[in-house]
Amino acid sequence: MYPLGFTGAERTALPGGEPARHRLPHLAAWLDYAVELGCDGLLLGPVFAAETHGYDTTDHFRIDARLGDEADFDALVAAAGQRGLRLILDGVFNHVGRSFPPFKAALAGGPATPAARWFKRTADGSDYAVFEGHGHLVELDHDEPAVLAYVIEVMTHWLGRGAGGWRLDAAYAVPPAFWAKAIPAVREAFPGAWFLGEMIHGDYAGYAAEAGLDSVTQYEVWKAVWSSLNDRNFQELAHALGRHNAFLDSFEEWGLPQTFVGNHDVTRLATVLGDDRHFGHALAVLCCVGGVPSVYYGDEQGLRGLKEHREGGDDEIRGAFPATPAGLPPGGWRYYRLHQRLIGFRRRHPWLVRARTAPVHLEPSALALELRGPDDGERALLLLNTGDAEFRFGVDASGLSVAETAEPGAVRAEPLLVPAHSWTILA
């Protein structure tokens, strides 16, 4: 969930003295909906005091007044815990907003003050560095001991209030040695905390191992899923899943990658796919490959939204939800039920979290993926057909039977015969 968007909050911080808006209870009203979907965790976007979109934090110890206050947070943690949902928070520790008090102190006191050491300088030393060209996002200096102490304090504070872990925003921009110091210090007090690093490029496994992360975002699989379906060319997906196996082999030492087909930074799945008949194909891949799969709010209703690279370009993909599920448009429930079926399949086969994937039949519009778990007998087949005609797969399906199909309750007299633009899971 992206809380500021989900709750329809103001685009900018409330003026000083304005009362809190108490929108976090809006999220709590949707927890049963998440549980019924099959989820067991709630990964929140930014909830701390910020200037605009939440990634320009001004106070990591205060809930953004547009969302409520600490009492609202405590109530959300309690409500999630009652339902078995772990709450993961978004930690923006690479950069801060320009109203962040230490940065204001640095500006007031000059570059020789202790506060100024919190922030990076440009290459020529003439100004403070900003994140990826965004002038309102000032980069922290992760070599500064005060920054390390601050981040450790923030993480332990909210874990102490009931959070279950952290998504580390823009982790790829932070030296892994910084996390290698911060995370063990936090684990001393909270050994069960989970740390997910946002990685969009680079050596995922190597970075995660050095940093001590439990998980990283698997953007390569995300891109390969929708791109292969749009191009009707499964070569890209097969190649990406081969690399994914190698990631899993490396990750075995420390954790599992986070897999997804949508998040708060990308065009929604229903929009990016050129053919709605292939929505289920994407979700079937997500629910079959190894890793920790996540669902971005709204995708389970087939919502549409285009990511644009302009001011306000994220608005369509971070929209508001009604007060309760009863307010959702009726046309989206078929996507919700599809998610329920496929998440249910994965939960009935928990070995899939560490499954390795191998293409046993590969054509431009027909792909059979064999899924194998770490133990003997843990095997399944995912059959994908994006062609305009039915396709009979010539693969070994001995010992397997139809577990899920694109059409709910469909009876397949020939399990290996998959209709046009359809899919089947055998297990």
Rg of the chain's alpha carbons, rounded to an integer? 23
The superfamily in CATH containing domain 3-353 is Glycosidases (3.20.20.80)
Cβ 364 vs Cβ 301: under 8 Å = no
Query: Whole-angstrom Cα distance, residue 325 to residue 300?
Result: 12
Which residue intervals of 360-415 are DSSP H helices?
A: none
Contacts of 260 (CB under 8 A, 6+ apart): 217, 218, 222, 286, 293, 294, 295, 296
- Yes or no: say if 381 and 425 are a contact pair by the CB < 8 Å rule: yes
**Per-residue pLDDT, 255:** 83
Per-residue pLDDT of 324-368, as tens digits, reads 999 999 999 999 999 999 999 999 999 999 999 999 999 999 999
Q: Give helix 279-286 / helix 219-231 axis angle, nearest 10°.
A: 150
Burial class of residue 82 (count of CB atoms within 10 Å of its CB; 0-12, 13-18, 19+): exposed
Helices (H) and strands (E) in the chain — how many of each? 13, 19
Please enumerate in sequence order all residues whose Cβ is within 8 A of that of 352, keeping only pairs 6 or more positions apart, or say none.
287, 288, 289, 290, 346, 371, 373, 380
- Both tokens of residue 22? 């108490």
Please provide residue 259's backbone torsions phi and psi, each rounded to the nearest 5 degrees.
Answer: -105, 150
User: What is the predicted pLDDT for the residue at 151?
Assistant: 98
Q: At 25, give phi and psi (nearest 5°).
A: -60, -25
| CA neighbours closer than 13 Å in the CB half-sphere of residue 325 | 17
CB 273 within 8 A of CB 282: yes
Which 3 state secondary structure label does DSSP give 402?
strand
Q: Which residues pair with 264 in a beta bridge?
A: none
Q: Residue 21: which H helix or E strand, with range?
A: none
Tokens encoding 322: 């009604």
CA 236 to CA 153: how far, in whole Å? 43
pLDDT given for residue 411 in this prediction: 85
Give the largest Cα separation in the chain, rounded. Answer: 77
Predicted structure pTM score:
0.96
The one-letter code for the residue type at 362 is L
Give phi and psi for 318, each to the nearest 5: -130, 40
Cα–Cα distance measured from residue 264 to residue 394, given in angstroms and rounded to the nearest whole number:
39
Distance between CA 33 and CA 333 in Å, rounded?
A: 12
In which residue ranges of the chain is pLDDT below 50? Answer: none
Report the C-alpha gap between 96 and 141 in whole angstroms.
Answer: 11
The DSSP secondary-structure symbol of 74 reads H
pLDDT of residue 264: 97
The whole-angstrom separation of Cα 212 and Cα 168 is 12
Query: Can you say whether the dihedral through the CA atoms of 397, 401, 404, 410 is positive or negative?
Result: positive
Dihedral angle sign, alpha carbons of residues 412, 418, 423, 425:
positive
Answer whether 137's CB lies under 8 Å from 58's CB: no
Element spanning 106, H or E: helix 101-109
CA–CA separation, 262 and 240 (whole Å)? 17
Q: How far apart are CA 427 and CA 420, in angstroms?
A: 21
Question: What one-character DSSP code corresponds to residue 217?
Answer: B
Give residue for tokens 């910020």.
Answer: 50
Provide the pLDDT for residue 188: 97
CB atoms within 10 A of CB 166: 28
Instruction: Tell me the three state secondary structure of residue 260.
Output: coil
